[in-house]
Protein backbone atom coordinates (compact mmCIF):
# COMPACT_ATOMS: atom_id res chain seq x y z
CA UNK A 1 0.00 0.00 0.00
CA UNK A 2 2.78 2.41 0.94
CA UNK A 3 4.66 1.77 -2.29
CA UNK A 4 1.49 2.48 -4.30
CA UNK A 5 1.04 5.84 -2.57
CA UNK A 6 4.65 6.69 -3.34
CA UNK A 7 4.36 5.61 -6.98
CA UNK A 8 1.20 7.64 -7.59
CA UNK A 9 2.56 10.66 -5.69
CA UNK A 10 5.60 10.43 -7.95
CA UNK A 11 3.41 10.97 -11.02
CA UNK A 12 2.04 14.20 -9.56
CA UNK A 13 5.41 15.44 -8.31
CA UNK A 14 6.85 14.92 -11.79
CA UNK A 15 3.82 16.67 -13.28
CA UNK A 16 4.87 19.80 -11.39
CA UNK A 17 8.60 19.36 -11.98
CA UNK A 18 8.27 18.94 -15.73
CA UNK A 19 5.33 21.32 -16.07
CA UNK A 20 7.44 24.14 -14.65
CA UNK A 21 10.72 22.96 -16.19
CA UNK A 22 9.42 22.50 -19.74
CA UNK A 23 7.08 25.47 -19.94
CA UNK A 24 8.71 28.19 -17.81
CA UNK A 25 10.62 29.85 -20.68
CA UNK A 26 7.48 30.11 -22.80
CA UNK A 27 5.30 31.24 -19.89
CA UNK A 28 7.81 33.84 -18.73
CA UNK A 29 8.08 35.25 -22.26
CA UNK A 30 4.40 35.16 -23.27
CA UNK A 31 2.65 36.00 -20.01
CA UNK A 32 5.23 37.72 -17.81
CA UNK A 33 6.92 39.49 -20.76
CA UNK A 34 10.46 38.48 -19.77
CA UNK A 35 13.18 39.13 -22.32
CA UNK A 36 15.25 36.18 -23.48
CA UNK A 37 18.11 37.07 -21.10
CA UNK A 38 15.94 37.36 -17.98
CA UNK A 39 14.02 34.22 -18.92
CA UNK A 40 17.27 32.29 -19.39
CA UNK A 41 18.69 33.50 -16.08
CA UNK A 42 15.46 32.62 -14.27
CA UNK A 43 15.44 29.15 -15.81
CA UNK A 44 19.08 28.59 -14.82
CA UNK A 45 18.42 29.76 -11.26
CA UNK A 46 15.50 27.29 -11.03
CA UNK A 47 17.91 24.46 -11.82
CA UNK A 48 20.74 25.77 -9.64
CA UNK A 49 18.38 26.14 -6.66
CA UNK A 50 17.64 22.42 -6.95
CA UNK A 51 21.09 21.49 -5.62
CA UNK A 52 20.89 23.10 -2.17
CA UNK A 53 17.15 22.36 -2.04
CA UNK A 54 17.67 18.64 -2.54
CA UNK A 55 20.48 18.54 0.01
CA UNK A 56 18.40 20.52 2.51
CA UNK A 57 15.40 18.23 2.00
CA UNK A 58 17.54 15.15 2.62
CA UNK A 59 19.02 16.72 5.73
CA UNK A 60 15.56 17.67 7.06
CA UNK A 61 14.28 14.16 6.36
CA UNK A 62 17.20 12.47 8.14
CA UNK A 63 18.07 14.86 10.96
CA UNK A 64 14.87 16.73 11.79
CA UNK A 65 12.27 14.04 11.07
CA UNK A 66 14.41 10.92 11.73
CA UNK A 67 13.98 9.43 8.25
CA UNK A 68 10.26 10.18 7.89
CA UNK A 69 10.27 10.61 4.11
CA UNK A 70 6.48 11.00 3.83
CA UNK A 71 6.32 13.84 6.35
CA UNK A 72 9.22 15.69 4.74
CA UNK A 73 7.81 15.23 1.23
CA UNK A 74 4.38 16.39 2.39
CA UNK A 75 5.78 19.59 3.93
CA UNK A 76 7.86 20.35 0.84
CA UNK A 77 4.88 19.74 -1.49
CA UNK A 78 2.62 22.03 0.55
CA UNK A 79 5.30 24.72 0.13
CA UNK A 80 5.52 23.89 -3.61
CA UNK A 81 1.76 24.35 -3.93
CA UNK A 82 1.93 27.79 -2.28
CA UNK A 83 4.94 28.87 -4.38
CA UNK A 84 3.29 27.63 -7.59
CA UNK A 85 0.13 29.61 -6.81
CA UNK A 86 2.13 32.79 -6.09
CA UNK A 87 4.20 32.27 -9.28
CA UNK A 88 1.01 32.00 -11.32
CA UNK A 89 -0.86 34.90 -9.71
CA UNK A 90 1.86 37.53 -9.31
CA UNK A 91 2.10 40.46 -11.68
CA UNK A 92 5.62 41.28 -10.49
CA UNK A 93 8.49 40.03 -12.65
CA UNK A 94 10.80 40.04 -9.64
CA UNK A 95 8.39 37.94 -7.57
CA UNK A 96 7.85 35.55 -10.51
CA UNK A 97 11.62 35.15 -10.76
CA UNK A 98 11.91 34.59 -6.99
CA UNK A 99 9.13 31.99 -7.07
CA UNK A 100 10.92 30.11 -9.85
CA UNK A 101 13.97 29.90 -7.59
CA UNK A 102 11.80 28.78 -4.66
CA UNK A 103 10.11 26.16 -6.86
CA UNK A 104 13.49 24.84 -7.99
CA UNK A 105 14.67 24.70 -4.38
CA UNK A 106 11.55 22.85 -3.22
CA UNK A 107 10.44 20.45 -5.99
CA UNK A 108 13.59 18.39 -6.37
CA UNK A 109 13.54 17.33 -2.70
CA UNK A 110 10.33 15.31 -3.05
CA UNK A 111 11.63 13.90 -6.35
CA UNK A 112 14.70 12.59 -4.50
CA UNK A 113 12.77 11.43 -1.42
CA UNK A 114 10.26 9.43 -3.43
CA UNK A 115 13.02 7.57 -5.23
CA UNK A 116 14.90 7.00 -1.97
CA UNK A 117 11.77 5.86 -0.15
CA UNK A 118 10.96 3.40 -2.94
CA UNK A 119 14.50 2.00 -2.74
CA UNK A 120 14.14 1.57 1.01
CA UNK A 121 10.82 -0.26 0.71
CA UNK A 122 11.04 -2.41 -2.40
CA UNK A 123 13.41 -4.86 -4.01
CA UNK A 124 15.87 -3.04 -6.27
CA UNK A 125 14.25 -4.16 -9.54
CA UNK A 126 10.81 -2.97 -8.35
CA UNK A 127 11.87 0.47 -7.15
CA UNK A 128 12.20 2.32 -10.47
CA UNK A 129 10.24 5.51 -11.10
CA UNK A 130 9.20 7.14 -14.34
CA UNK A 131 8.08 10.61 -15.32
CA UNK A 132 6.42 9.52 -18.55
CA UNK A 133 5.02 12.27 -20.73
CA UNK A 134 3.84 14.62 -17.98
CA UNK A 135 5.55 17.67 -19.52
CA UNK A 136 3.77 17.03 -22.80
CA UNK A 137 0.43 16.87 -21.01
CA UNK A 138 0.92 20.36 -19.57
CA UNK A 139 1.89 21.64 -23.03
CA UNK A 140 -1.23 20.14 -24.58
CA UNK A 141 -3.40 21.62 -21.83
CA UNK A 142 -1.90 25.10 -22.24
CA UNK A 143 -2.13 24.99 -26.02
CA UNK A 144 -5.78 23.90 -26.02
CA UNK A 145 -7.10 25.66 -22.91
CA UNK A 146 -4.68 28.46 -21.97
CA UNK A 147 -2.17 29.11 -19.22
CA UNK A 148 -4.76 29.24 -16.44
CA UNK A 149 -5.81 25.67 -17.26
CA UNK A 150 -2.18 24.56 -17.22
CA UNK A 151 -1.77 26.04 -13.75
CA UNK A 152 -5.05 24.47 -12.61
CA UNK A 153 -3.69 21.06 -13.68
CA UNK A 154 -0.34 21.66 -11.95
CA UNK A 155 -1.98 22.95 -8.75
CA UNK A 156 -4.36 19.98 -8.79
CA UNK A 157 -1.41 17.65 -9.27
CA UNK A 158 0.45 19.36 -6.45
CA UNK A 159 -2.56 19.02 -4.14
CA UNK A 160 -2.91 15.33 -5.04
CA UNK A 161 0.81 14.80 -4.38
CA UNK A 162 0.29 16.43 -0.96
CA UNK A 163 -2.62 14.09 -0.18
CA UNK A 164 -0.67 11.02 -1.31
CA UNK A 165 2.42 12.04 0.65
CA UNK A 166 0.20 12.63 3.69
CA UNK A 167 -1.18 9.09 3.27
CA UNK A 168 2.41 7.89 2.84
CA UNK A 169 3.32 9.58 6.11
CA UNK A 170 0.49 7.73 7.91
CA UNK A 171 1.32 4.37 6.31
CA UNK A 172 5.01 4.93 6.98
CA UNK A 173 4.29 5.18 10.72
CA UNK A 174 2.18 1.98 10.60
CA UNK A 175 4.88 0.21 8.59
CA UNK A 176 7.54 1.25 11.10
CA UNK A 177 5.39 0.05 14.03
CA UNK A 178 4.84 -3.33 12.36
CA UNK A 179 8.58 -3.72 11.72
CA UNK A 180 9.40 -2.94 15.36
CA UNK A 181 6.88 -5.41 16.83
The candidate with the shortest Cα–Cα distance to 74, out of 174, 152, 156, 159, is: 159
CA distance 105 to 85: 16
What does the pLDDT read at residue 128? Answer: 43
CA distance 39 to 25: 6
Residue-wise pLDDT for 67-88, tens only, equals 888 899 999 999 999 999 999 9
* CA dihedral sign, ordered 59, 60, 66, 72: negative
The residue ranking higher by pLDDT, 1 or 30, is: 30
The residue ranking higher by pLDDT, 177 or 166, is: 166
Delimit the domains of the chain by residue range: 2-180
* CA dihedral sign, ordered 58, 60, 61, 67: positive
pTM here is: 0.77
In the predicted model, is pLDDT for residue 178 greater than 50? yes
Residue-wise pLDDT for 120-175, tens only, equals 766 555 444 333 444 556 677 778 888 898 889 889 888 888 888 888 888 877 87
Which class in CATH covers the domain with range 2-180? Answer: mainly alpha
Model confidence band, residue 92 (pLDDT cutoffs 50, 70, 90): very high
The residue ranking higher by pLDDT, 137 or 2, is: 2
What does the pLDDT read at residue 133? Answer: 42
Residue-wise pLDDT for 12-55, tens only, equals 888 888 888 888 898 999 999 999 999 999 999 999 999 999 99
* CA dihedral sign, ordered 12, 18, 113, 62: negative
Amino acid sequence: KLLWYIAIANVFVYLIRYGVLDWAPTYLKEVRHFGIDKSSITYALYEIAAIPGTLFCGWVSDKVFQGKRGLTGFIFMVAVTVALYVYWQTTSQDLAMAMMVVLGFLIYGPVMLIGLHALELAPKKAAGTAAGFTGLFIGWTVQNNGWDSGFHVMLGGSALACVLLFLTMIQEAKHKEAMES
